[in-house]
Amino acid sequence: MNGAGFILAINLFVAGLLSAAFMMIAVYDRSRVAARWLAFAYAIGMGFFAIEAIIPSLDNARVAVVAAVACLLAGMGAFNAGVARKYGVEIPWRLIGTVFVVSLVVNYAIQDLPRQSFTRLALYQAPFAIMQAIAAGIVWKAGARHKLDRMLMTLLCLSALQFMSKPLLAHAVGGWGARPQDYIGSSYALFSQSMATVFAIAIALLLMVILVRDVLTDATQRSETDTLSGLHNRRGFEDRADRALRDAERQGVPLSLVICDLDHFKSVNDNFGHAAGDAVIVAFAQFIRSAMAPHFVAGRIGGEEFAIILPGTNIVAARLFAEGARSAFAGLPVQELPDDRRFTASFGVAELAPGERIADLMRRADAALYDAKKSGRDCVRVSLKAGQRRPTLSVTGNGQKVRE
């Protein structure tokens, strides 16, 4: 076996390994439709390398050459479908199908041109370059801005360029054989197959890293998300709150924490059932999500206890937010409860003090919440840093003003 034949055998083996690897990702996480498409793409690509390997043994290779091109283009079309599924872009089936059909017709026709014709080789390679350019366009259209996604788009563009450079390479190394059967023994075949191997493996491995990154990210999010409310659970909230605290210290901006607890929640479960209790949790979580700013972080940190971190917000603004949330939620109806039944919540507010950690801040906010509960519920209490003046009045749900 010559050098080009050895590279061809390696390509066949690598395509099989990549197909199996993507299929393992698809089996591990059945929601990864992109992984199934990519596994299918590399499985089809194996057909191209297999046909290329048997062409030297054929008397008339015309049909076999077209079949090999069809396999490679079909594999690249499936690859593009996988990339589109990964990035949430509509699969350009019409464009892919047009390139596929026109390319096969052109490929069959150009075999009547002289074997060493630059035009013939350029027309042979152009469809592969177009397919790779389509994949790059899909990533670009998705607006992906992560470093790995930009690297993938760059690799796809370079791969398209290497296909277009092959006519120049063929002429530089003495052509690609007088007959299709002679291709495998040419120097051009060795260089061409090697280039294809490098780009195919680099693109596949990068895509694999991107898919594994997505799987791990989703797994982390699921482990840090409260299934009932859809907010962060305590672990997820504290992790993001700690990051927000570090960012606030680095940027020199204030940060506040609001902890809230649903009033008389046990009575809802006792009188109306756990489905009604769940409905209250869901309603309050949806309310918090709609009321808070995009850069705030909210979590369900206990059964009926919630917390919201407010970056860039001092104690005065945080208290206003809590008062507004308390008043608005008290007027909202809740499914599973009688129309005339309203639910209230109590709030504790604290602003980050120099040298504090998230546990310290949560402890102070929780103490303020305890004060709100002792003061009759449906009210807001604040925990002040040294030197701060406490606002003199708090408004409860029944309109009563309470001196703090």
d(CA 348, CA 321): 11
What is the set of active-site residues? Answer: 304
d(CA 125, CA 198): 17
**DSSP state, residue 347:** E
**DSSP state, residue 385:** P
With beta carbons less than 8 A apart as the criterion, state whether 361 and 246 touch: no
Strand pairing of 393-395 and 401-403?
antiparallel
State residue 30 phi and psi, 5-degree precision: -65, -15
Place of tokens 């850069």: 295
d(CA 393, CA 402): 6
Give the residue from 134, 125, 81, 90 showing the smallest Cα distance to 107: 125
d(CA 24, CA 232): 30
Compute CA distances 36 → 24, 39, 78, 135, 155, whole Å.
9, 5, 10, 16, 21
Buried b or exposed e, range 363-383, using 16+ CB within 10 angstroms: ebbbebbebbeebebbbbbbb
d(CA 363, CA 355): 14
Strand pairing of 345-351 and 380-383?
parallel
With beta carbons less than 8 A apart as the criterion, state whether 232 and 300 touch: yes
- Paired with 351 in beta bridges are 256
Strand pairing of 255-262 and 345-351?
antiparallel
Tokens, residue 164? 């277009």
Amino acid letter for position 211: L
Amino acid letter for position 119: T
Give the residue from 320, 376, 318, 317 showing the smallest Cα distance to 345: 376
